[in-house]
Chain A
Amino acid sequence: MATAAHKVTPKEANANPPPEAVVVRFAGDSGDGMQLTGGQFTLSTALAGNDLATFPDFPAEIRAPQGTLFGVSAFQINFGSASIETAGDAPDVLIAMNPAALAVNVDVLKPGGLIIADEGEFTDRNLSKAKYESNPLEDDSLAKWQLMKLNISQLTLDAVKPFGLGNKEALRCKNMWTLGLALWMFDRDRQPIIDWLKAKFAKAPDIAEANIAALNAGHAYGETAEIGGQVGQLHMPAAPVEPGLYRTVTGAESISLGLVAGTQLAELPMFFGGYPITPASAILHHLSRFKEYGVTTFQAEDEIAAVAAAIGASYAGSLGVTSSSGPGIALKTEAIGLAIMTELPLVVVNSQRGGPSTGLPTKTEQSDLYQAVYGRNGDAPMPVIAARSAADCFDVAIEACRIATRYMTPVMLLTDGYIANAAEPWKVPDMAGYERFPVQFLEEAPESGFEAYARDEKLARPWVKPGTPGLLHRIGGIEKKAGTGNIDYSPENHQQMTDLRRDKVAGIAVPDQEVEQGETSGKLAVVGWGSTFGPITQAVRRARKKGLDVAHIHIRHIWPLPKNLGQLLKGYDKVLVPEMNTGQLKTLLRDQFLVDAKPLNKVSGQPFRIAEIEEAIESTLG
């Protein structure tokens, strides 16, 4: 049945030395369960002790018409025995469940890489939907790769026959057959997946058993079938990582856990107001299950109500949190201004996606930095911090809660669609190691008398909960008189309050900027923020191995920027800023420090490839 059309030249085969990392891409129709397959493969990879990074890449349509090019859903995983920072540039293995999946993904496959294709789906009809004039499995168009044609559909049907499922139901087990084969290829334990299937289909044991049978059949196929050529088992040794307890975590999970931890460290209940939006909804889903941690979630009627309710909750003594993606953040903007004016704590999470307008809901971008830093009416400063990876989201969320409550201010936390969906191993933190920052509500008037807009040494005003006797006061969006907080439109007062709001945010204590790799001065600094951390790290590492004088600086605190950053950047001859936008951090750095920051931009909805940044480093130094 299986034929490995091995037409790879020795040179091509040698282009891939014995791997310390492998990139596998599962691709199929959006109904084929590729995200599920990828997720379970990720789990098994993590359990095998490999370091890993993933990249789920799926269409905006829930069920795009079957077999079409735009309905292709893919999941890429990079795993290895060394440190992994990105989901990998080019896959070594492509699993294509239909012609469209092959057509969309094959071009990025490494020369000499392996294609596993379900030939059962390469029908005339599907070929034409994928715009193939002839069957690529039969002509020589795939000759620079290794090709393994398997009738996965038929093999699956055979495997699940005893369970008496209908044809459609039976074919749904295809992804588990494929996963079984992949588990065999990388010498993985099937048991965790079997346990997961049993739990998932606890109410439908037949379906569970059919899926397990498909999984086992795929595995057995690898073990027993005569698969020729280079297709064989590969065992990836565990990556050398710090000892400890690990789990996998996506950015959305990590942010949710970080928000719970942050409110617990502040000793406050959390109120989360949300409205469904891709790719931010997962945070609402996660938090709605954490009620025993004092979390109240509220699915509001719209984005504005979500943030407004969060502000109301902060006013009443909870920590108000809201989350959205760019278009939703735009709707929340007026209310964020209210939180700035009334100086109430609030955490706003923006899981950025491609824009403007509806843009690319399921694709990633970093194009909301201007919106976060500058995008409000009036002089309305607010702190902005950005997460660099799924695991980093945890600490950044805690930091957001800390700043919001200590400085009585809304805080914008930037993450993006890539981080939100991508999974990575995470060393479970020791919570005893986190500094608590319990909130002290004002409960009695100080001797000098109570003023709602009095200032502490950080310029924060007191937080008074309604229900507190003796401290009755009114707040609102109209300009406040310094001190009393009464309405005051007078020119001197507006000048004073505008300066005060600016100084309060500018004075937020931000740790000094450190250099991730390389020296603190030299020929070139590559400066990034957010999810470009992975590719920049790898690109700079490779460039430094080649002996290039390049350093990597990654900024968490976007606003206010670290105090030493300007001086630090001036120590390099050149500054390169890779961003998934048209140059927003670049503008900020130029504006704040008058440095000649050069942009490297990508707005394709896909993360940077390592090679793209590596080339830019070389040409900048060239």
Chain B
Amino acid sequence: MNEMTPVKTTLKDWESDQEVRWCPGCGDYAVLKAVQRTMPDLGVARENTVFVSGIGCSSRFPYYMETYGFHTIHGRAPAVATGVKLANPQLDVWIITGDGDALSIGGNHMMHLLRRNLNTQVLLFNNEIYGLTKGQYSPTSRVGTRSPSTPFGSVDRPASPCAFALGSGARFVARGIDVNKNLPAVLKAAHAHQGAAFVEIFQNCIVYNDDVFAPFAAKPNAATSQLWVEHGEPMLFEKGTKGVALDRDTLSLKIVDVTDGDWQGAGVLVHDQTNRMIAHLLIEMPFGEFPMALGVLYDDPAPTFESAVVEQNRAASEGKVADLQKLVAKGQTWQVTKEPRVE
């Protein structure tokens, strides 16, 4: 896609004529806007863009994008997208999914899409709840979540989307927040990455799980609780007065104070997005004791699945002609002549 001339579009061009039907105040509106705002900056053509989704509130997303769109079945968006991309690798494919869709019913497909490294953008809207089915706890809900199906609180431990992605072999892992101004930059980075780009978006469900991310997502908490990482930059938060450093004895991260901007002196780590170990440490930082790591946590491209398939198809076909008559007559044949053989 890189060699193509950038296409000029505006935000309006990416809005479909369909009435958006999320609950008022849903975080999905903000993500939709962020995506529609990002698209013109990518220089891509609407007709080459395909949004594929599964089932859930977020999966209504494709209807609202003025592109090609496929609202599939629960959990299967990665599998459908695999077929789309293998059939036409030129298409720019975005997968829209949620925590239940991607990590519960569709966990298997998500794992395989990531390990195969299909060149797509995966936006996982994590609201830690099943919204469309009216509020049951999800695979990312915290222990103790009270819901219609867990009136006494959930007892099973939640999955961590980014840890799942990294463990599955993803080569791009990022985090964003629905209403945060940095989300378009994260989306752009995901699009620029050749291969499966996994983005967890913390998305507020105003009806069933309101403010579950407020401890870091709410504006007043942003400075103290959000660590936006950037490749080549020190990991600083709280307006540069605190940083994340490596505790070499325990091979874990620690928070250090930074005075007078001397982050080197404080031993603050510089983010290297190609360093898988750092990505692991950032993803696993327990929130509360640490801030929430956000932005592009890991970006280290590897050959994509569809390019390997295309290349093998090409190599195996080289010098061969698609002659159907020859194909059906392959193998050991014998001729029966008009006169039956005289024995």
Contact = CB atoms under 8 A, between A and B. Distances in A.
A10 interface: no
B336 A49 contact: yes
Range of interface residues on B (Cβ < 8 Å)? 35 or more
Contact of A47 (B16, B55, B68, B332): B332
Interface in B319-342: 320-322, 324-325, 327-338, 340-341
A473 B69 CA distance: 6
Interface in B26-74: 45-48, 50, 52, 55, 62-63, 65-73
Interface stretch (A92-100, A138-146, A304-312, A541-549): A304-312
B86 interface: yes
B83 A301 contact: no
A474 interface: yes
Given A293-B327, A309-B79, A474 B68 contact: yes
A192 interface: yes
Range of interface residues on A (Cβ < 8 Å)? 35 or more
| Most chain A beta-carbon contacts within 10 A, residue among B46, B68, B327, B331 | B68
Contact of B80 (A240, A315, A317, A431): A315
Contact of B82 (A242, A312, A471): A312
A257 B327 contact: yes
B18 A292 contact: no
Contacts of A335: 73, 76
Contacts of A76: none
Interface stretch (A22-30, A124-132, A404-412, A475-483): A475-483
B334 A47 contact: yes
| Most chain A beta-carbon contacts within 10 A, residue among B48, B72, B313, B341 | B72
| Most chain A beta-carbon contacts within 10 A, residue among B65, B82, B320 | B82
Nearest to B340: A240
B223 interface: no
A293 B322 contact: yes
Nearest to A427: B336
B109 interface: yes
B71 A478 contact: yes
Contacts, number: 216
A260 B324 CA distance: 8
Interface in B83-99: 83-88, 90-91
Interface stretch (A168-176, A361-369, A462-470): A462-470
B320 A292 contact: yes
Contacts of A309: 79-80, 82-83, 86
Interface string A283-324: 000000011111010101110110011111111111010000
Contacts of A305: 76, 78-79, 82, 108-109, 112
Nearest to A49: B341
Contact of A472 (B66, B71, B317, B328): B66
B68 A271 contact: no
B251 interface: no
| Most chain B beta-carbon contacts within 10 A, residue among A261, A269, A312 | A312
B337 A317 contact: no
B328 A429 contact: yes
Contact of B62 (A235, A243, A476): A476
A241 B336 contact: yes
Contact of B76 (A49, A192, A308): A308
Interface of A: 43, 46-47, 49, 192, 235, 237-238, 240-248, 257, 260-261, 264, 269, 271, 273, 290-294, 296, 298, 300-302, 304-305, 308-318, 320, 334-335, 337-338, 342, 394, 428-432, 465-478, 486-487
